[in-house]
Amino acid sequence: MSGHSKWNNIQGRKNAQDAKRGKIFQKLSREIYMAAKSGGPDPDSNPSLRLMLDKAKAANMPKDNIKRAIDKASGSEGADYEEITYEGYAPGGVAILVHTLTDNRNRTASEVRIAFTRNGGNLGETGSVNYMFDRKGYIIISREELDTDEDAMFEDVIDAGAEDLKTSEELFEIYTDSKDLPDVRASLEAKGYKLDTFELVMIPQNLVPVPEDKIEQFHHMIDALEDNDDVSEVFHAGDIADED
């Protein structure tokens, strides 16, 4: 996992994401709905829902929005959503996964295909690139005002049950087995750490450099997908020089 830094993408788009708070809440509502629909409305017995509620609270999502999403899943009202993953290649031959949550399969398929084809990408068959990624838990801890060196953090991270630690001047990035994320998170919080990000992600096994003449087109494609209301997550294996 060395060389991968999802934080670069998060940090580079932070201002834009802040401006789209309403859209973020909409996507979180759908994900809460799906988690409650598939595993029940009680977060104590539904780990997926518990994780989504924690994400919603971290995003300062209003409690009324959260309650409404759970209520919809518990009753018969509201749209019936389904999860669909699209796979393919972005400009430069970079593998890409697009996770969607939609109440209209045809609409979503059309819009995702347009985002690919208009920006030099190609959609693939199911399973064409998914095997190139691993599902992992991902945690970020900012080093600002944190009086902990790398050795101490490494000991705490391993003791918590995590798999890997990546450090930079600004932050610690922690990777876990997907099923261990809740326990690792709880252990680190019990040690007094404030977590900036905790989520399940798809980590590319290998990174592919994006050709310099394709970088702008690559960004346009990622932005077009992330701006789509039906798209919940976008993961890629691109190594982008201008983000280093």
Of 49, 47, 78, nearest to 183 by C-alpha is: 47
Per-residue pLDDT reduced to its tens digit, 7-45: 555 444 444 545 456 778 888 888 888 888 888 889 888
Looking at residue 15, what is its pLDDT?
A: 46
pLDDT classification of 6: cutoffs 50, 70, 90? low
Of 241, 183, 218, nearest to 89 by C-alpha is: 218
- DSSP, collapsed to helix, strand or coil, labels residue 193 as coil
| pTM of model > 0.85 | no
- DSSP, collapsed to helix, strand or coil, labels residue 168 as coil
Is-contact 218 92, C-beta < 8 A?
A: yes
Per-residue pLDDT reduced to its tens digit, 115-174: 999 999 999 999 999 999 999 999 999 998 888 889 999 999 999 999 999 998 899 999
Per-residue pLDDT reduced to its tens digit, 158-213: 999 999 999 988 999 999 999 999 899 999 999 999 998 888 899 999 999 999 99
Whether residue 48 has pLDDT greater than 80: yes
Looking at residue 218, what is its pLDDT?
A: 95
